Amino acid sequence: MIQVVKADGIQERALLSQLKNRSEEVDRKVTVAVTEIIDAVRAKGDEAVREYTLKFDGKCPEQFEISKADMQRALDEADPEFVASLQRAKENIVDFHRRQKHQSFIDAKANGVILGQRIRGLHRVGLYVPGGTAAYPSSVLMNAIPAKVAGVKEIVMITPPLKTGGANPDILVAAAIAGVDRVFLAGGAQAVAALAYGTESIPRVDKIVGPGNIYVATAKRLLYGTVDIDMVAGPSEILIMADENAPAPFVAADLMSQAEHDVLASAILLTTSERLAQQVVEEVKNQSESLSRKEIIAQSLQDFGAIIICKDNDQMVEYANEIAPEHLEVMMANPLEYLGRLDNAGSVFLGNYSPEPLGDYFAGPNHVLPTSGTARFFSPLSVDSFIKKSSYIYYTEAELCRAKDDIMRIANREGLTAHANSIKVRF
C-alpha cells in the first residue's frame, strides 16, 4: 500500500520528483471553459450566474442571498454540542490571530518631517465555501475570523446550493458563529467571477479566499489582478519526521488523516528506524479497514505516499526543508530542538500529542497553508492577508531644500529630468 525505500540518493530522489509533479496540470479545456464563464458573468451578471448554477448544481434559488433570519434559524436548530465545539474553536482562533495584529505608526522628527504608515482592513472580502459532501465548517472559521480580526468591514460568503436549493446548514452555523455578514448561494467559477466583478445581487469584493475544485482554483488564478486572492492551493500533504521511539499507531493514523482528502494527497514519513517503518506499514493496513474513505487512502498512499529511511536526523531535516510540506509533524525526542532548523513548512506540529487535525480544527493557528513546496516562500493565511498598508510623508520647505541636490542628482542619473524638475521648481 505504501512503499518503503532507503535513502541512497537515487530512490528517494525519484520519489521526491514524483511528488513535485503530482499537482494537476492546468487543463487547457478547463481554462477555456472557465474563461467563457468569467466572460459571461462579466457581461450578463445575475443572468449568467443563474444559467451556470442551474447547469452545474441542478437547482438555483429564487434569491441568491440567504437572509439573516435563515442563518439564525440554522444556528438555533443545530446540535448544541456541535455549536459548543465550534465556539471553543473560535475562541482559540481569535486568540491566536489577535496576536498577529500590527499597529499603524507615525514618526514625527525633530526637524519637522513626519513619516508614517497606516494599516487598515480591506473593505470587503469574499469567502468561497464548497458545499455538498465537501462542506467544511472549519474552513469558514479559519477564513472569516482572521478577516474579522484584521478589521475587514464586510465579509461575503458564497457557497453552492444543495439539490434542494438551500444551503448546507453546518456552513450557515459556522458563518453565524464566525460573524459572516452576508451569504449567497452560487458555486463554481461563476461564483468566483460574480465576487470579482459584482452583479446585480452579489457585491464586488477586494479579495477572494477559500478552497474549491479545479474550476474554482482556475477562476481565482485567472481573475488575480482584477481581485486579490489568498493562494491557488494544490492537493493536501503531510510530512512526518519520526525517530525509533515514535508510536507507530500514531504515525500511521496521521499519515492517513491527510491521505483521505484526495487521491492526489501526499503522505510521507521520514525515519531512521527500519523497525518503525515496518510497524507503520502494518498499522496502515489494520487501521484503514475501519475508515470510511479507505479506497481514497489506499490510492493516495500507493501513488504519492512513501516511507523514506534516512541515514540520520540531519538528513531528515534536509529533506523536510527541501519538500517544504503543508503540514510537518515532528515525532522525535525533544522535538523543540528541531524547530529552529525547520525553515520550510506551512505549519509544524511538535511531539506525539500534536496531530495535524488539532491544527485543522481547534488549536488556533490557521489551517489555510501553502502547498506543493510553496512554503519555501508563502505563509499561512493570517491577519496580514486581510490588511493593506499606506505610507505617508510630510516635509517642510527647509528639509526639502536640504535634500534637493541628492534627489535631483539621482533623478538626473536615471534620465528622469521631469522628476528632477519637480524638485527644482520649488527653489
Positions marked catalytic = 326-327
185 φ, ψ (degrees, to nearest 5): -100, 105
Cα dist. 425→225, 414, 421 in Å?
37, 19, 6
DSSP 224: B
The rounded radius of gyration (Å) of the Cα atoms in the chain is 25
Q: How many CA atoms lie less than 13 Å away from 286 in the CB half-sphere?
A: 10
Q: Within 13 Å, how many C-alpha atoms sit on residue 301's CB side?
A: 26
**Contact in structure between 387 and 97 (CB atoms under 8 Å):** no
Which residues are registered as beta bridge partners of 389? 119
Half-sphere exposure of 260 (CA within 13 A, CB side): 17
The residues pairing with 394 across neighbouring beta strands, listed in sequence order, are: 114
- CA 412 to chain CA centroid, Å, is 45
Q: How far is Cα 123 from Cα 155, in angstroms, rounded to an integer?
A: 9
CA-CA distance, 98 to 150, in Å (whole number)? 8
Indicate the SS3 state at residue 330.
strand
> Exposed/middle/buried for 113, CB within 10 Å: 0-12, 13-18, 19+?
middle
- Would you give the end-to-end CA distance of the chain in angstroms? 78
Could you say which DSSP state residue 134 is in? G
Distance CA 200, CA 46 (A): 6
Say if CB 235 and CB 266 are below 8 A apart.
yes
Asked if residue 151 lies in contact with residue 121, where contact means CB atoms within 8 angstroms, the answer is yes
